[in-house]
């Protein structure tokens, strides 16, 4: 069993949890993920690692309530335990001295961009971090990211923090100004990652995106997480989750992501009804 040592609400329906998982923390690296199961009858869900502390033996995940299982997880209190917490899974982000690296996090993707920005800075890169959300209340990790970045820039859809607009607006300004960028790493909603990749394509800036499609086993056996990259079939759990953003078939990815939306909504509605709509994640 894996105990929840700390729980903190970062934004409406967005929660940070520190999990006691010494074996996972010992091997974890930026860009990797875990697959957890709440209880014996629960489904397996992937969550990208937001931080880890090898000495304390903890792994941090940031969870947004979007479906039945994530809402149920946010109802767990500190001190509760998870049935399974498998990881670290996937290939770590390739970290080396590139020069200037732009790290972009959108929405809950702000969380996993933190260890990537930290690792890039530790490798000697100039790190420009751009984060964005719909509004100020949905932003988090600003201080943590500022501490590991040379520059931190913020965009919100409604202008309540930073620049009014999207993360791509800030990136567009950097590129238009002739800022030398050697690598861009984007984590967040699929439409955002696609927009980043299309923006950097004409400038020839290498762009890495972190994909989080539907997964079951996380070892490449089930095939649920298949994506098309450069015309070839890849499995996000073992070949990724990082891929060349200029080679990803985002149209196919978006279609696959939408396949179970109806079932997701039904499962979450049943869970909420069974709990009288009284969920701690609200």
Q: Which of 20-29, 118-127, 149-158, 260-269 has the lowest mean pLDDT?
A: 260-269
Write down the mean pLDDT value for the chain. 91
Give the separation between CA 121 and CA 141, rounded to whole angstroms. 16
> Residue 42, CB half-sphere, CA atoms under 13 Å: how many?
21
**Token pair of 168, please?**
């791509």
Please report, for the chain, the start and end positions of each structural domain, with discontinuous segments joined by +.
2-89
Helix (H, G, I), strand (E, B) or coil at 152: strand
pLDDT at 277 over 80: no
CATH of 2-89, one of 1.20.1250.20, 3.40.1360.10, 2.40.30.10, 1.10.1510.10: 2.40.30.10
* Helix/strand/coil percent split, the chain, to 5: 30, 30, 35
Do 16 and 8 form a contact (C-beta atoms < 8 A)?
yes
pLDDT at 272 over 90: no
Per-residue pLDDT, 282: 42
Segment 17-39 shows an average pLDDT of 95
Give the separation between CA 9 and CA 135, rounded to whole angstroms. 16
> Residue 109, CB half-sphere, CA atoms under 13 Å: how many?
25
Tens-digit pLDDT profile for residues 258-267: 766 777 777 7
Per-residue pLDDT, 127: 98
pLDDT at 146 over 50: yes
Q: What is the pTM of this model?
A: 0.91
């Amino acid at each position: 069993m894996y105990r929840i040592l700390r729980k903190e609400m970062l934004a409406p329906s967005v929660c940070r949890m520190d999990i006691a998982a010494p074996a996972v923390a010992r091997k974890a690296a930026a860009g990797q993920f875990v697959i957890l199961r709440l209880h014996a009858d629960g489904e397996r869900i992937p969550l990208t690692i937001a931080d880890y502390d090898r000495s304390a033996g903890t792994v941090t995940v940031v969870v947004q309530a979007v479906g039945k299982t994530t809402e149920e997880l946010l109802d767990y209190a500190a001190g509760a335990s998870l049935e399974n917490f498998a990881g670290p899974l996937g290939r770590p982000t390739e970290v080396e001295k590139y020069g200037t690296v732009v790290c972009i996090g959108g929405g809950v993707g702000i969380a996993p961009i933190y260890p990537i920005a930290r690792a890039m800075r530790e490798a000697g890169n100039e790190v420009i971090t751009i984060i964005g959300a719909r509004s100020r209340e949905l932003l988090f990790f600003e201080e943590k990211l500022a501490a590991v970045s040379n520059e931190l820039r913020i965009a919100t859809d409604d202008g309540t923090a930073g620049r009014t607009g999207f993360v791509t607006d800030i990136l567009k300004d950097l590129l238009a100004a002739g800022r030398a960028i050697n690598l861009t790493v984007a984590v967040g909603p699929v439409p955002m990652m696609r927009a980043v990749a299309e923006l950097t394509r004409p400038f020839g800036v290498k762009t890495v995106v972190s994909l989080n499609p539907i997964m079951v086993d996380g070892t490449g056996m089930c095939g649920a997480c298949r994506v098309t990259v450069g015309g070839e079939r890849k499995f996000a759990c073992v070949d990724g989750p990082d891929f060349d953003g200029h080679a990803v078939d985002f149209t196919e990815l978006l279609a696959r992501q939408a396949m179970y939306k109806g079932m997701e909504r039904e499962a979450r509605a049943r869970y909420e009804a069974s709990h009288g709509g009284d969920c701690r994640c609200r």
